[in-house]
Amino acid sequence: MKNIKLTLALATILFASAFTFIQSVNWKVKEGYTVKFTGKKVDGIFKGLKAEINFNEKDPGKSKILASIDATTANTGSGIMNKHAKSEDGLNTEKFPTINFESSEITKMANGFLATGKLTLRGVTKEIKFPFTFANDTFNGKFAIAPKEYGVTRNGTPDEITIELNIPVTK
């Protein structure tokens, strides 16, 4: 009877400790991150990143990313272009001051990970997928969107904008 109890206790401890090793880690964004955007005849950066990143390299299916960027911080290096980007027919930052992403699935790929989720820009939500890597406590990813699909109708807006992320994090 003692052997059965001892075996059960040991099995319980091993079972519980196995889950300790595969728990997701809550990551905090560090200073020095970059969120760049590029398109035909335009490039710039966003600031004001806020994120809840719960990520597990070994079991990415248990991971979740919630992120928002302050759209009012769009900076192209040109005052007139910034004004156009933030205008009513641009990002319309007065009405929609943030751009949001919420992952629905994160999967492992041969050379990194793939995040699938909902991107909300100007009140329009679309599913996007983007590959990213995680190394040296830094997330790096890149994806492209068609601004017109999100209601950006400003004359001169590129057909496609590429967003590039470099997000150093800490536990």
Q: 34-89, pLDDT tens digit by residue?
A: 999 999 989 999 999 999 999 999 999 999 999 999 999 999 999 999 999 999 99
Measure the CA–CA gap between 25 and 6, rounded to whole angstroms. 32
State both tokens at 36: 């760049």
Give the max Cα distance, the chain: 81
Domains located in the chain, CATH noted:
24-170 (2.40.128.110)
Q: How many CB atoms lie within 10 A of CB 88?
A: 11
Does the pLDDT at position 22 exceed 80? no
Question: Among 25, 83, 49, 28, which Cα is nearest to 163's?
Answer: 49
Three-point CA angle 126, 63, 115, nearest 5°? 35
Question: Among 99, 95, 98, which Cα is nearest to 145's?
Answer: 99
- One-letter amino acid of 155: N
Measure the CA–CA gap between 66 and 31, rounded to whole angstroms. 18
Does the pLDDT at position 171 exceed 70? yes
Measure the CA–CA gap between 167 and 83, rounded to whole angstroms. 26
Beta bridge partners of 166: 34, 140
Chain segment 99-143, per-residue pLDDT in tens = 999 999 999 999 999 999 999 999 999 999 999 999 999 999 999
Give the pLDDT confidence score for residue 24 in this predicted structure. 82
Measure the CA–CA gap between 100 and 118, rounded to whole angstroms. 8
Share of the chain above pLDDT 70, in %: 87
